Amino acid sequence: MKNPEEIDNLVDKKFLDAELLIKHAESINNSRYLAGYAVELALKAKICRHLDVPDLFSKEQVSKNDVSSPFRSHNLSSLMIYAGLHGKHSEALNDDTDYYKKWQLVSNWKPSLRYNTQYCDRSKCMEFLKAVNFFYPMDTRQLKEELKPFVEICKQKGKPLKRVVLEENVPGLPAAQYHLLIQAEWLNPEDDCDGHLDELVDWFIETVDPKVRSFVQFIRIQDKLSRDHCFQELIVFDSQNAEA
């Protein structure tokens, strides 16, 4: 796992495999294991971003047995702390009964489940997958699909995007927000970003459904050297405000 984006892709694949297993396979034990593994990976991607160490879980770092050691835990509650989510997570556990019940299901997951030979009741496995999915109020896969027209228009306008990544804030909270990270190879470090940023925001508003836009808090652009160049907060007006 070279970087958070690669881990994010693994998260999607693990959860998709879990859904396919529970829908189509006679043996559904592995669906619970894969879904829990998706949560572990999602938290590890957050840890990379929180610590600003993109390659924290790369083979090179792991082989050094360095600072990455404590973060290679499989304990989801510990990973929640390492990801910098302890405060908001604890608040949600205390204030939201549904959140608490679902986290109790998810946090009991262990990687040793892959060795479990006992039959997992389909309804219980479904309940576990729903609990896992609860921590991602709007599925990142769905969001990525909704962003395809934006990516396509950028390409058509002669400004293709090398990388488009969604970075969610805090999983499991009803008002979850995302950041849209864009890397543009045509953007040089010395370029004035304002004009480019205005265009990208206009195309984003033009091509993305308002409901989907409401989940994206701001757009952050990186230049060709993968350095943060500029960002724009997105102000979303509801229909009443728009008519006013």
Count of CB atoms within 10 A of residue 29's CB? 18
Contact 108, 76 (CB under 8 A): no
Close Cβ partners of 231 (under 8 Å, ≥ 6 residues apart): 218, 219, 220, 221
pLDDT band of residue 203 (cuts 50, 70, 90) is very high
Provide the domain limits for residue 185.
140-243
* Residues 80 and 112 grouped into a single domain: yes
Q: Which of 103, 134, 165 is the last residue of a domain?
A: 134
Residue 241 has a pLDDT of: 34
Are 115 and 145 in a shared domain? no
Pair (165, 122) in one structural domain: no
Cut 0.75: pTM above it: no
Give the pLDDT confidence score for residue 26 in this predicted structure.
64
pLDDT of residue 118: 66
The model's pLDDT over 50-90, given as tens digits with 9 standing for 90+, comes to: 888 888 887 766 555 567 778 889 999 999 999 888 888 88
Domain co-membership, 9 together with 127: yes
More confident position, 146 or 60: 146
